[in-house]
Amino acid sequence: MENTVQEIIEKQVLTVAKAVEDKIDDEIAALEKLDLDDIEVLRERRLQQMKKMAEKRSRWISLGHGEYSEIFSEKDFFTIVKASDRVVCHFYRENWPCKVVDKHLSILAKQHIETRFIKIQAEKSPFLAEKLKIVVLPTIALIKNAKVDDYVVGFNELGGTDEFSTEELEERLARAQVIHFEGESSFKASKPQTRNVRHGSNSHDSDSE
């Protein structure tokens, strides 16, 4: 009986190995068929991709990406969320838990230049706090295309302690797809209610991205 099981397993392994080998052979054959013109086209396409990425990075930096910065008016908030596709906004007060969040967001802002990271004092932003229903501090609003798509409220989702790691917060932001993250496809994005935060809008309807 054991020999039969072993034979079945060996056959399955051989079948998988053969399929992988065939796939590699096909890829090698495709590469061998490329002529100089094809290689030049691929090279040009790659150069264009690199150029576009460089332009994106330059634009992001000009908008303040790459830094974790404080804003001091609600007007600045609306200007920022209209200018940047992805924004992480920390609503804070002067206390220890908020300082813990500051530490982690300062690190992530430098690592994720594709997203704007900001903070605003909740008590000095009564209109925003009421509009976005900010009650618990710290609250991190995750904004995509000028809509609050998700929130990280307090530390409940981060182990319920202020000793969570930067990586844990990074993974939470990645699940909301507000940052690009290596292995991002393994995270299933949640779809909570979105709130439109364009200035003057009172829409609380759910919007799909």
pLDDT one-digit tens code per residue, 37-62: 777 888 888 899 999 999 999 999 99
Place of tokens 């053969």: 18
Query: What was the pLDDT predicted at 1?
Result: 59
Query: What was the pLDDT predicted at 127?
Result: 96
Per-residue pLDDT band for 98 (boundaries 50, 70, 90) equals very high
Query: What was the pLDDT predicted at 15?
Result: 76
Residue 31, pLDDT above cutoff 90: no
Query: What was the pLDDT predicted at 144?
Result: 97
pTM: 0.71
User: Is pLDDT larger for residue 137 or for residue 26?
Assistant: 137
Express as a percent the part of the chain with pLDDT over 90.
64
Query: What was the pLDDT predicted at 201?
Result: 42
Q: What is the DSSP secondary structure assignment for residue 164, as one 8-state letter?
A: -
**161 CB burial (10 A radius; 0-12, 13-18, 19+):** exposed
Give whichever of 67-71, 181-185, 205-209 has the largest mean pLDDT.
Answer: 67-71
Query: What was the pLDDT predicted at 194?
Result: 54
Q: Find out if CATH 3.40.30.10 is the number for domain 65-176.
A: yes
Cα–Cα dist 156/94, whole Å: 20
Helices (H) and strands (E) counted in the chain, each on its own, are: 6, 6
Residue 5, pLDDT above cutoff 80: no
Residue 29, pLDDT above cutoff 90: no
Cα–Cα separations (whole angstroms), residue 37 to 34, 44, 46, 49, 51: 8, 10, 14, 18, 21
User: Is pLDDT larger for residue 207 or for residue 69?
Assistant: 69
Q: How many CB atoms lie within 10 A of CB 64?
A: 17
Contacts of 206 (CB under 8 A, 6+ apart): 191, 193, 194
* Tens-place pLDDT, residues 144-196: 999 999 999 999 999 999 999 999 999 999 999 999 976 543 334 444 445 66
Per-residue pLDDT band for 93 (boundaries 50, 70, 90) equals very high
Query: What was the pLDDT predicted at 185?
Result: 36
Cα–Cα dist 123/185, whole Å: 37
